[in-house]
């Protein structure tokens, strides 16, 4: 099965997701977050950089859990047009 190309909006949402996760990680080392979430360090780096704009739901859920982010707040932040929208804890 061939996957259709991502739209510019999907790519932008992936960049926003990466920025939100990076912001939530703060000063914690990426390796610490990767280990806590069960996501590989390379995958975390790709998601944070926007190179993986559509990570699997369970990957996002694992990262959100390790970072203490509510999934509903993360989803809401990704559906707003402004980059870096605040997340409610």
User: Which structural domain, as residue segments, surrounds residue 36?
Assistant: 8-78
Percent of the chain at pLDDT exceeding 70 = 89
Is residue 1, in this structure, part of any structural domain at all?
A: no
Alpha helical stretches, state H, 1-89: 8-25, 30-37, 41-49, 57-67, 71-78
Say what the pLDDT of residue 88 is.
Answer: 47
Is residue 49, in this structure, part of any structural domain at all?
A: yes
43-82 confidence digits (pLDDT tens)? 999 999 999 999 999 999 999 999 999 999 999 998 855 4
Is residue 66, in this structure, part of any structural domain at all?
A: yes
What CATH number does the domain containing 62 carry? 1.10.260.40
Is residue 34, in this structure, part of any structural domain at all?
A: yes
Is residue 84, in this structure, part of any structural domain at all?
A: no
pLDDT at residue 86 is higher than 90 = no
Q: How many structural domains does the chain have? A: 1
Say what the pLDDT of residue 27 is.
Answer: 96
Say what the pLDDT of residue 3 is.
Answer: 80
Alpha helical stretches, state H, 26-56: 30-37, 41-49
Number of C-beta neighbours around residue 8 at 10 A? 7
pTM of structure: 0.83
């Amino acid at each position: 099965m061939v996957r259709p190309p991502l739209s510019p909006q999907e790519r932008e949402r992936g960049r926003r997701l990466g920025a939100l996760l990076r912001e939530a990680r703060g000063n914690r080392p990426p390796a610490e977050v990767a280990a806590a979430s069960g996501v590989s360090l390379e995958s975390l780096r790709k998601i944070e950089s926007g190179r993986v704009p559509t990570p699997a739901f369970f990957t996002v859920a694992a990262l959100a859990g390790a970072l203490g982010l509510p999934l509903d707040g993360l989803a809401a932040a990704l559906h707003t047009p402004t980059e870096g929208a605040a997340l409610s804890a």
